Amino acid sequence: MAAKRYDRNGNTYRGSSYYTYGNVAYDVQPEYTPYYTEEDEDRTRIAQEKAHKAEVRESRITALKLIAIIVVLFAGSIAFMGMHVRVANENVELRREKSELADLKSNNAILAAELTEQIDLDYIKEQATNRLGMAEPQPYQVVYIDVPKQSYTIQYASDATEAEKDSGFLSFSNR
């Protein structure tokens, strides 16, 4: 076994082929330079290919997720627009039905007024006494009852088509 060699600073001499003067670090060279075999190169190449394939797979998965999100958003917006169109059509139908109801109510009121105008109480009294043999009741046969006015009077609300207006988003979107 060879004796250890020391430099002038007292450090162990590592076997480099030249001596350095001053306080510069030694150029350390290993005693042997390892060489890479084909197996090592194949391992690194296969590892790089696997890493590249993993990156490609990850990018494809990310792209598919993005496409799925876009498709879901598109389908949701189509469904939202469809529902909005449906609501708008129902509102148009509702307005048409309300106007038809208002026309029918006014027509009924006109017919009721005509009916009350055509009733002739003198003609009815004459027909009842002459043709049917009826007579007016005697005072002791008349019984008066106190009936509250609301119990026999039908009260209709005022025309709701004019008073009832859309509010909120629908009124804004229908203009």
Structural domain boundaries in the chain: 38-135
For 96-149, the pLDDT digits (tens) are 999 999 999 999 999 999 888 888 888 888 999 999 999 988 989 899 888 776
Q: Is the pTM of this model over 0.75?
A: no
Which of 27-31, 69-73, 158-162 shows the lowest mean pLDDT across its residues?
158-162
Q: What is the pLDDT of residue 173?
A: 52
Q: What is the pLDDT of residue 163?
A: 45
Looking at residue 140, the DSSP 8-state letter turns out to be G
Q: Looking at per-residue confidence, does 62 or 150 come out higher?
A: 62
| Neighbour-count burial of 26, counting CB atoms closer than 10 A to its CB (0-12 exposed, 13-18 middle, 19+ buried) | middle
Model confidence band, residue 84 (pLDDT cutoffs 50, 70, 90):
very high
Q: Of 35, 37, 36, 16, whose CA–CA distance to 25 is shortest?
A: 16
Q: Of 4, 27, 7, whose CA–CA distance to 17 is shortest?
A: 27
Model confidence band, residue 55 (pLDDT cutoffs 50, 70, 90):
very high
Share of the chain above pLDDT 90, in %: 43
CB 159 within 8 Å of CB 102: yes
| CA-to-CA dists, residue 150 to 97, 108, 143, 155, angstroms | 29, 20, 21, 8
Q: What is the mean pLDDT of residues 147-174?
A: 55
Model confidence band, residue 25 (pLDDT cutoffs 50, 70, 90):
low
Looking at residue 12, the DSSP 8-state letter turns out to be B
Q: Of 23, 22, 25, whose CA–CA distance to 14 is shortest?
A: 25
